[in-house]
């Protein structure tokens, strides 16, 4: 800091000097410069102070009384400098006149009297890279000031979940309790200290990670800042965002056998399937040469194999199978010309695949069954007007739930008026509409069995297409037990 002050002082003075009189040095004649160097405030004489000039003439040192003389100085304007160890260098301007003397007095300030910056804060707790911390964490640090000035601190906090930057200013204590942190999140923190005089001094950056999100069995998508964002949640209603606001990610599905979550992510003009760990880390792109695609990506789905080794997904009229590491892409099935595959579900034992097919507008829909080798088995839903979707097998392959717009309405914007939940029974080869207390004027979408198959989970919203969307569940034995689990969510998954 001492060197810094000297440099700044010299630069400022030099700029001032260069802006001063441009009196030439060729007018002829010489003059004398006399002066004294004293300590500021007390005016105590300072001996052995080096005095020089710019332009350079000669260098002299002060005597025991602080006096100095520079003789035979060519006429002109000079910048004179006084320098002594442990003092701040001082500059003075003077114009030498022929056959005359000028006098200059320097008042030097001891460097120890200059207010010095406090030390960089040392982050003490939590230890750097600590893990499994609770959602309330006390941060502590230490910093000292040479003059024992009163210090204030500012904490800057970032996390690996989103782009939020939290600033906590004007702290007077060297500790602070953070509350309301997020599960499964890595935080980065830094402390700035100020003595009110000097620029802030920054600490190193510290990091810590909170506890893993507990009992995260539910997944859903929520729209944030124009993008779809994936959340994980538990039955207690706690939520954790696991994809960024800055990317468009949706239709998340978990496979418990390999403990990974698959999801669709926009990648330029295409949509691709990715997987990640339950906390949103270790993201891996699965599809490459053939993206996932269909007539409307709001209604296009894919499916894990039961053991998590493979994924099936549609690309317009074709069904593909790919390994969970992105290798082994094969075409498994293709529908007739003019039809698209929009949805698929792979049975838990891997023997059957349910496909929902439709035309380019989403209508003329059918639900068909094929085997794992791509051979056609049967058609279980056909011949209805309006939208059909949301296919999901029961664990024993005896039932399949789906939705159908019983109004039969068809429109260019694929609006649905009365989307209801149906159950197909493979033993009786019959479909039954379930009485699940659906509010009038609303639609049920994305129906799936709960893990114990005693309940169904789905999304419900008004058929106006702009109202709030609710993730709800209903008991299969008590059909008036519709319960809202999450507000402003869609595309649920429950494992």
Take residue 48 and report the two structure tokens written for it.
């052995």
**Could you read off the pLDDT of 384-397 as tens digits, one per residue?**
999 999 999 999 99
Mean pLDDT of 336-350: 97
| Percent of the chain topping pLDDT 90 | 82
* Distance of alpha carbon 140 from the chain centroid: 25
**Could you read off the pLDDT of 235-287 as tens digits, one per residue?**
888 899 999 989 999 999 999 999 999 999 999 999 999 999 999 999 999 99
**Could you read off the pLDDT of 279-308 as tens digits, one per residue?**
999 999 999 999 999 999 999 999 999 999
Instruction: Walk across the sheet containing 227-233 and list its strands.
Output: 239-241, 227-233, 218-224, 490-494
**What gap in Å lies between CA 458 and CA 444, rounded to an integer?**
6
At residue 111's C-alpha, the angle toward residues 107 and 117, to 5°, is 135
Take residue 38 and report the two structure tokens written for it.
């004293």
* Total-model pTM: 0.72
**What gap in Å lies between CA 366 and CA 389, rounded to an integer?**
9
9: helix, coil or strand? helix
Query: Is 319 a residue whose pLDDT tops 70?
Result: yes
Mean pLDDT of 425-446: 95
Query: Is 338 a residue whose pLDDT tops 50?
Result: yes
Query: Is 11 a residue whose pLDDT tops 50?
Result: no
Mean pLDDT of 153-163: 91
Take residue 484 and report the two structure tokens written for it.
């809202």
Mean pLDDT of 343-361: 97
User: Burial level of 354, CB count in 10 A (0-12/13-18/19+)?
Assistant: buried
Query: Is 3 a residue whose pLDDT tops 60?
Result: no
Give the containing element (helix H, strand E) for 15: helix 2-18
**Could you read off the pLDDT of 73-122 as tens digits, one per residue?**
999 999 999 999 988 889 999 999 999 999 999 999 887 667 889 999 99
**Could you read off the pLDDT of 161-188 as tens digits, one per residue?**
877 899 999 999 999 999 999 999 999 9
Query: Is 1 a residue whose pLDDT tops 60?
Result: no
Cβ-count burial 113-147 (b if 16+ within 10 Å, e if not): eeebbbeebebeebeeeeeebeeebebebebebee
**126 preceded by a cis bond (ω within 30 of 0):** yes
381 in Cβ contact with 431 (< 8 Å):
yes
Tally of CB atoms within 10 A around 436: 21
What's the number of CA atoms in the CB half-sphere (13 Å) around residue 38?
11
Q: What's the confidence (pLDDT) of residue 112?
A: 66
Cβ-count burial 25-42 (b if 16+ within 10 Å, e if not): eeeeeebbbebbbbbeee
320 in Cβ contact with 335 (< 8 Å):
no
Instruction: Walk across the sheet containing 376-381 and list its strands.
Output: 340-346, 352-358, 366-371, 376-381
With CA atoms as reference, report the closest residue to 179 among 135, 209, 241.
135
Mean pLDDT of 433-460: 95
Q: What is the mean pLDDT of the chain?
A: 92
17: left (phi over 0), alpha (psi -120 to 50) or beta: alpha
**Could you read off the pLDDT of 41-82 as tens digits, one per residue?**
899 999 999 999 988 888 999 999 999 999 999 999 999 999
Cβ-count burial 290-322 (b if 16+ within 10 Å, e if not): ebbbbbebebbbbbbbbebebbbbbbbbbbbbb
Q: What's the confidence (pLDDT) of residue 390?
A: 95
Q: What's the confidence (pLDDT) of residue 105?
A: 95
Q: What's the confidence (pLDDT) of residue 479?
A: 67
Residue 160 banded pLDDT, cuts 50, 70, 90 = confident
With CA atoms as reference, report the closest residue to 42 among 10, 93, 8, 87.
87
Strand ranges for 299-387 from DSSP E: 303-304, 310-315, 318-323, 330-334, 340-346, 352-358, 366-371, 376-381
**What gap in Å lies between CA 495 and CA 304, rounded to an integer?**
12
* Residue ranges of domains in the chain, CATH in brackets: 2-113 (2.60.40.1120), 122-210 (2.60.40.10), 218-494 (2.120.10.30)
């Amino acid at each position: 800091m001492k060197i810094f002050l000297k440099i700044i002082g010299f630069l400022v003075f030099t700029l001032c000097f260069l802006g001063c009189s441009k009196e030439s040095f060729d007018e002829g004649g010489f003059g004398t410069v006399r002066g004294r160097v004293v300590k500021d405030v007390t005016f105590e004489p300072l001996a052995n102070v080096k005095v020089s000039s710019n332009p350079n003439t000669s260098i002299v040192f002060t005597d025991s009384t602080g006096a100095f003389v520079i003789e035979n100085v060519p006429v002109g304007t000079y910048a004179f400098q006084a320098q002594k160890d442990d003092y701040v260098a001082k500059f003075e301007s003077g114009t030498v006149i022929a056959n005359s003397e000028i006098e200059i007095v320097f008042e030097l300030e001891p460097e120890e009297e200059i207010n010095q910056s406090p030390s960089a804060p040392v982050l003490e707790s939590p230890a750097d890279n600590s893990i499994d911390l609770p959602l309330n964490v006390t941060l502590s640090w230490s910093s000292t000031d040479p003059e024992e000035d009163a210090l204030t601190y500012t904490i800057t906090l970032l996390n690996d979940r989103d782009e939020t930057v939290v600033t906590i200013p004007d702290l007077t204590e060297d500790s602070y309790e953070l509350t309301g942190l997020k599960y499964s999140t890595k935080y980065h923190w830094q402390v700035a200290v100020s003595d009110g005089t000097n620029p802030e001094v920054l600490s190193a950056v510290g990091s810590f990670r909170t506890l893993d999100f507990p009992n995260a069995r539910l997944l859903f998508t929520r729209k944030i800042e124009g993008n779809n964002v994936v959340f994980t949640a538990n039955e207690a209603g706690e939520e954790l965002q696991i994809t960024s606001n800055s990317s468009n990610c949706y239709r998340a599905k978990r496979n418990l056998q390999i403990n990974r979550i698959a999801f669709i992510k926009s990648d330029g003009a295409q949509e691709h399937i990715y997987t990640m760990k339950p906390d949103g880390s270790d993201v891996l792109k699965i599809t490459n040469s053939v993206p996932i695609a269909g007539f409307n990506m709001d209604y296009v789905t894919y499916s894990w194999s039961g053991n998590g080794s493979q994924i099936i997904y549609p690309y317009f009229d074709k069904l593909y199978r790919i390994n969970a590491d992105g290798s082994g892409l094969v075409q498994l099935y293709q529908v007739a010309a003019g039809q698209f595959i929009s949805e698929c579900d792979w049975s838990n034992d891997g023997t059957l695949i349910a496909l929902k097919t439709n035309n380019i507008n989403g209508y003329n829909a059918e639900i068909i069954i094929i085997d794992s080798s791509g051979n056609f088995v049967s058609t279980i839903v056909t011949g209805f007007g309006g939208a059909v979707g949301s296919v999901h097998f029961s664990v024993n392959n005896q039932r399949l739930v789906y939705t159908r717009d019983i109004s039969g309405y068809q429109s260019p914007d694929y609006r649905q008026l009365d989307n209801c939940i149906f159950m197909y029974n493979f033993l009786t080869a019959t479909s039954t509409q379930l009485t699940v207390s659906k509010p009038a004027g609303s639609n049920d979408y994305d129906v799936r069995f709960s893990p114990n198959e005693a309940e169904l989970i789905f999304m419900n919203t008004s058929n106006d297409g702009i109202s709030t969307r609710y993730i709800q569940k209903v008991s299969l034995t008590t059909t008036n037990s519709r319960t809202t689990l999450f507000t402003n969510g869609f595309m649920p998954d429950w494992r």
